[in-house]
């Protein structure tokens, strides 16, 4: 019997995502001026106020107020009527030095450049388990419902910045997509699309709601659909149920409507409820925190396994003890889609030989100790396009121009190694 599966996404203007973007902007600036920085920073945003808190071990100084304001400005909170505006909001910082009790297990001093020595010396920044997932149902190996939810919001954000076809949009938006699957787990149609978008004040509420619904269905959705391959376009039938701003008026939004916190959208950030999640947030953490780095590494493994033809769908788990370099274990679940004559436990043993999952090795393999994190903080950390860009950072009279590689964990650079290891 056919079944339904749903995923949601939130825009860059959602209060939780505002907080994530500020936290990751701080991470990028710390790493741009001191690549060895150890940082864990949280952000809270509410009406007219930003609160920064966290722990830092670094040799640089940042003008955190200016960095936060630049992020808020870029998102689009630039009008006093939003009750949260880049130039006027208050910013309180309570960032302090990292505990030496934590740092001692992560960064043991080694007077050598030898890779093995460093990899064995750098322990995990915390205990816990991290998951990576991949599936064949989209070209970027992501679950379709989440991928479409992200794409809808990215299109709305682009339209908002163009300010031509739709001129009343404000930054805070949410989407949700429900997909109907066949018994053998193939998407066969889109059942429901939900969009809630913040908007300017209108004179008449009923006319406002009718216009917003028409614009979302007749402008946004066709633009999203036009960017998809034909087989995905075919999922957009005339039988989709649309819920557009289902509660009605949505003028009050963003941090004025709801308080935002770093790390509250971990399912949006990953796989939309598919697979599993270890519970640790990403944004605001430097790569010594395995919540972040190992989650990227397991996604890298999962994507390369599926792309190499080992399976059609896979979940990969890794776990750590704080201060210990070697993982406690690696787990693989192919959901019965394996194409190789090995049990999932045997596949995990092969994975252990291909991918070095010590934290230092992950940092080096995926080039994580570079300022690459602002781009991850909205529209998902997974399923994005890897690319090389040059970024410029300015802070308190300092300037750093850095060439970085974004979303390295999305590269299919281990496919040949995986094929060789599995005899494919």
> Per the annotation, where are the binding residues for Mg(2+)?
16
Say if residue 100 is exposed, middle or buried (CB neighbours under 10 Å; 0-12, 13-18, 19+). Answer: exposed
Give how far the C-alpha of residue 418 lies from the chain's centroid of Cα atoms, to the nearest Å: 25
Long-range contacts of residues 78-86, Cβ cutoff 8 Å, at least 24 apart: 82/170, 82/171, 82/254, 82/256, 83/47, 83/48, 83/252, 83/254, 83/255, 83/256, 84/45, 84/46, 84/47, 84/48, 84/254, 84/255, 84/256, 85/48
From the annotation, which residues make up the binding site for ATP?
Answer: 14, 172-174, 249-250, 258, 264-265, 281, 285
From the annotation, which residues make up the binding site for K(+)?
Answer: 42
From the annotation, which residues make up the binding site?
Answer: 14, 16, 42, 55, 98, 172-174, 249-250, 258, 264-265, 281, 285, 289
N-term to C-term CA, the chain: 34
Distance from C-alpha of 248 to C-alpha of 198, rounded to nearest angstrom: 10
Say if residue 326 is exposed, middle or buried (CB neighbours under 10 Å; 0-12, 13-18, 19+). Answer: middle
Q: Which residues of 395-418 are buried (b: 16+ CB within 10 A; e: fewer)?
A: beeeebebebebbbbbeeebbeeb
From the annotation, which residues make up the binding site for L-methionine?
Answer: 55, 98, 258, 289
Distance from C-alpha of 35 to C-alpha of 26, rounded to nearest angstrom: 13
Distance from C-alpha of 328 to C-alpha of 103, rounded to nearest angstrom: 20
Say if residue 420 is exposed, middle or buried (CB neighbours under 10 Å; 0-12, 13-18, 19+). Answer: exposed
Specify whether the CB–CB gap between 92 and 50 falls below 8 A. Answer: yes
């Amino acid at each position: 019997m056919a079944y339904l599966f749903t995923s949601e996404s939130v825009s860059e203007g959602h209060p939780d995502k505002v907080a994530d973007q500020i936290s990751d902007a701080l991470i990028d600036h710390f790493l741009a001026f001191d690549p060895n920085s150890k940082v864990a920073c949280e952000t809270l945003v509410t009406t007219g106020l930003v609160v920064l808190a966290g722990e830092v071990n670094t040799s640089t100084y940042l003008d955190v107020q200016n960095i936060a304001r630049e992020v808020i400005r870029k998102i689009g909170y630039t009008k006093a009527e939003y009750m949260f505006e880049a130039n006027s909001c208050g910013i309180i910082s309570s960032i302090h030095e990292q505990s030496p009790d934590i740092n001692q297990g992560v960064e043991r001093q080694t007077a050598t450049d030898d890779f093995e020595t460093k990899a064995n010396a750098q322990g995990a920044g915390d205990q816990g388990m991290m998951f990576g997932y991949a599936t064949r149902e989209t070209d970027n190996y992501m679950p379709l419902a989440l991928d479409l939810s992200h794409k809808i919001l990215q299109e709305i954000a682009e339209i908002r910045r163009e300010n031509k076809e739709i001129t009343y949009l404000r930054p805070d938006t949410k989407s949700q997509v429900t997909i109907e699957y066949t018994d053998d787990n193939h998407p066969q149609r889109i059942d429901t699309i939900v969009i809630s978008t913040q908007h300017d004040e209108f004179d008449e509420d009923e006319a406002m709601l009718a216009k917003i619904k028409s614009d979302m269905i007749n402008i946004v959705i066709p633009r999203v659909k036009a960017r998809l391959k034909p087989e995905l376009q075919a999922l957009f039938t005339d039988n989709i149920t649309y819920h557009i701003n289902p509660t009605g008026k949505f003028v009050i939004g963003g941090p004025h409507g709801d308080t935002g916190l770093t790390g509250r959208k971990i399912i949006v950030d990953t796989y939309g409820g598919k697979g599993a999640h270890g519970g640790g947030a990403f944004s605001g953490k430097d790569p010594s925190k395995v919540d972040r780095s190992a989650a990227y590494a397991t996604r890298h493994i999962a994507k390369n396994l599926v792309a190499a033809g080992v399976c059609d769908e896979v979940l990969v788990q890794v776990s750590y003890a704080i201060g210990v370099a070697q993982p406690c274990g690696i787990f693989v679940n192919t959901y019965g889609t394996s194409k190789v004559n090995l049990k999932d436990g045997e596949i995990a043993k092969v994975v252990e030989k291909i991918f070095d999952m010590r934290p230092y090795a992950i940092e080096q393999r995926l080039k994580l100790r570079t300022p690459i994190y602002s781009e991850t903080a909205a529209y998902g950390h997974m399923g994005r396009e890897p690319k090389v860009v040059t970024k410029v950072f300015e802070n308190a009279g300092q300037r750093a121009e850095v060439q970085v590689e974004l979303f390295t964990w999305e590269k299919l650079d281990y496919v040949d190694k995986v094929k060789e290891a599995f005899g494919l």
